[in-house]
Amino acid sequence: MTNQFHYGLDIGGTKIEIAIFNSKFECLGCLRAPTPTNNYVDFINSISDLVNQADDYCDSQGSVGAGIACTLNSEGLAQSANIDCLNGRQLINDLTEKLNRPIAIDNDSNLFTLSEANGGAADKADVVFGVIVGTGLGGALSIGQKIVPSAQGLSGEFGHTCISANLHAKYQLPLHQCGCGLVGCYESYLAGSGLSRLYQHFGAEQADTISFAQALKTKHPVAQATFDCYIDIAGAAFASLVLHYDPQVIVLGGGLSNIPEIAASLPEAMAKHLFNQVTLPKVITAKFGDSSGVRGAAIIGAQHAAKIT
Ligand SMILES: [Zn+2]
């Protein structure tokens, strides 16, 4: 029997949120609790309490999916930078046992893309690539409203491929050390901090992304020069997505998707890095924004439950 209700959990370093969705993935309400970061038993119990409260509210047992700030290694052991008690734990097994139902866990990019491909901005498109551009730059591929699985969950991490020598020379760009250990990653130019650094590179003194967005609206020459460079680099990065994944639609989310000039200018910028015969994908901004995490978690939980029951 399929579940009538689906719960999406967003488990971060400070709080755990559970959102309850109906079968159309419309949100019915949400609950929050602080995250116990130092005691694993308290952590599991806290999630169980929230799920039990959701069950009571629905008078039914909902499916469960979660976005968690951790990675799972090939043996299923969790590693987390900001929830210490998860390290080395069999998180999925322990939650499955405690909640007495299957649970699916996935990363932000996958959950965002899944949400936008199912009733979101890219609803009904078969091949969708979702991109989150904010504190980082990452993405995921959905085909037929499902995330394409990959061996290590690395598919879509295009933010950690490097800019071309051509772009580097054209704009006399500095080479930045990326948090991943590589040098010159797209992320170090296109994420929020990268955009600020580019703005400084072109001569801005107050170089945060908000003052950049305001200056761009007034067509300030430094902001315009920064944007022309930014969109050229983004065009190259997104052109590589077209050649690798050939999506019908690219959905943009994350903080920088709030700068409307980016989505509007990307198709033309991508075309400059692609051969003539290529039909460009549509580039659109997300429908669900910040709530894509819990909504995508609810969808992946529902898909997982339907697969194994
Ligand atoms: Zn990197």
Nearest alpha-carbon partner for 115 in 302, 255, 294: 294
Let me know if the fold of 6-107+290-308 is the same as that of 121-286.
Answer: yes
CA of 191 to the centre of ligand 1 (A): 11
Å from CA of 159 to ligand 1 middle: 6
For the chain, the structural domain boundaries read: 6-107+290-308, 121-286
Helix axes 260-271, 221-245, angle to 10 degrees: 60
Q: Under a CB-based contact definition with an 8 Å cutoff, are residues 111 and 300 in contact?
A: yes
Amino acid at 227: F
- Please give the distance, rounded to the nearest whole angstrom, from the Cα atom of residue 77 to the centre of ligand 1: 24
* pLDDT score of 124: 86
What is the DSSP code (8-state) at residue 191?
S
What is the domain class of 121-286 according to CATH?
Answer: alpha beta
In the predicted model, what is the mean pLDDT of the chain? Answer: 94
Rounded CA gap, 63 and 80, in Å? 24
The pLDDT of residue 278 is above 60: yes
| C-alpha 143 to ligand 1 mean position (Å) | 26
Ligand 1 centroid to Cα of residue 180, in Å, is 4
C-alpha 178 – ligand 1 centre gap (Å): 5
Q: How far is the CA of 193 from the centre of ligand 1 (A)?
A: 13
Q: Give me the pLDDT at residue 290, please.
A: 81
DSSP 84-98: GGGTT--HHHHHHHH
- CATH architecture label of 6-107+290-308: 2-Layer Sandwich (3.30)
Assess contact for 40 and 63: CB atoms under 8 A: no
CA 221 to ligand 1 center in whole angstroms: 30
Q: Which two tokens stand for residue 140?
A: 């995921």
pTM (2 d.p.): 0.93
State the pLDDT confidence band at 292, using cuts at 50, 70 and 90: confident
Q: Using the mean position of ligand 1's atoms as its centre, give its distance from the Cα of residue 270 in Å.
A: 21
Query: Nearest 5 degrees, angle CA 289-CA 16-CA 136?
Result: 45
**Strand locations in 46-174 (E):** 63-68, 71-72, 78-79, 103-106, 127-133, 137-143, 146-147
pLDDT per position as a tens digit, 155-172: 899 999 999 999 999 999
Between the CA of 242 and the centroid of ligand 1 the distance, in Å, is 20
At 80, the amino acid letter reads S
Residue 31 CA, ligand 1 centroid: distance in Å: 35
Q: Report how far ligand 1's centroid is from the alpha carbon of 161 (Å).
A: 7
- The model's pLDDT over 205-240, given as tens digits with 9 standing for 90+, comes to 988 999 999 999 999 999 999 999 999 999 999 999
| Per-residue confidence (pLDDT) for residue 2, from 0 to 100 | 65
The percentage of the chain sitting over the pLDDT mark of 70, rounded to a whole number, equals 99
Amino acid present at 262: I
**d(C-alpha 293, C-alpha 126), whole Å:** 21
